[in-house]
Structure 1
């Protein structure tokens, strides 16, 4: 049995490794060793998470997927959660979350009956917490949207401030001829933002060229 830790943060500005200490301490108390750590900056509301699926691909039956909280694993819609659960179940991976005490016994070898009993209880609790995490995500998005509407109505909405240091780094990588895939992988930016910055850089070069010629 291998213990594989999954650490996720929402954006590239957040520290995906923040929970590493808590996961290491949990494992140490139980005499377990974390064999590998998989970190990524992706939304928990997205099913497409390369590191999570790389972890699952690396797993053998009986391995443990260790997370700090269930919402690090999923803020997915119900259909997407079922797809992820099907992948986890097919690999026979045990999910252990620090915020789900019913899962803790799955990190230690048990007799078959006890293991199956804890697995059944844990699967039910996983579904409940995944649904709660999704509702929390949707409620937060709704409150943000309502706040934006109120701010716009009051003339106070200025939009999200630009990440100038990241955007400057992206511009430099574009000038160096890096591919879009390389830039997105290195900075965590979206394709939409990258297209916008590439267009702005192109327009600036065209404007500068026209000015020099004039």
Structure 2
């Protein structure tokens, strides 16, 4: 059994070091050590996560996926959540989180004797589904409130539109200049091809000037 920690931040500016230290401490409290870390900066509402897919691909049967919070995995639409669960189930990977005590059993291999373990796995699966639904609803509620705020600002003539993420655009430009492909940049930054194409177009215009 290997423990593989998955760390996700929704923007490039967020730092995963705090979460990493927290998970290391949690594992040590249970007499365990984390074998590998997978970190990416990508929205929790999408299943397009190269590092998460790499984690699953590199995992052996029965490994553990350790996350600080369930919503690091589960802020997905129901269809995407079902797809992710199928990928995890295909290798019998267990999701463990400090915020979900029923998941901690996976860290203790003393109880390999069947019935109790099966019951707790069933309870844990139910809890995961419930937390996934809560995470998705929280995400949708925040998006709805955000849109309401934008519409109100528009009606009052105060809305200036979404401002460009200059730091991310600079990072994309740097990767383009060093010969990285669109797909490689997507994997590194978790950004859209549309944004990469926009930066590439600006580069061409600037070079031609």
TM-score with structure 1 setting the length: 0.88
Q: Given that residues 16 and 41 in structure 1 are in contact (C-alpha distance below 8 angstroms), is that contact kept between their aligned partners in structure 2?
A: no
* 2:75 matched residue in structure 1: 75
* 2:98 matched residue in structure 1: 98
- Return the offset for 1:162: 2.4
Q: Considering only aligned residues, what root-mean-square deviation do their CA atoms show, in Å?
A: 1.9
136-145 or 163-172: which moved more?
163-172
Take 1:53 and 1:186, find their aligned partners in 2: how far apart are those partners?
13
* 1:146 matched residue in structure 2: 148
**Unaligned stretches of 5+ residues in structure 1:** 209-214
- Return the offset for 1:79: 1.2
50-59 or 69-78: which moved more?
50-59
* 2:9 matched residue in structure 1: 9
Of residues 90, 114, 117 in structure 1, which corresponds to 2:116? Answer: 114
**Match of 2:57, SS?**
helix
Q: Given that residues 17 and 39 in structure 1 are in contact (C-alpha distance below 8 angstroms), is that contact kept between their aligned partners in structure 2?
A: no
**Unaligned stretches of 5+ residues in structure 2:** none
**Match of 1:135, SS?**
helix
* 1:137 matched residue in structure 2: 139
Q: Given that residues 44 and 75 in structure 2 are in contact (C-alpha distance below 8 angstroms), is that contact kept between their aligned partners in structure 1?
A: yes
**Match of 2:18, SS?**
coil
Runs of 4 or more above 6 Å deviation: none
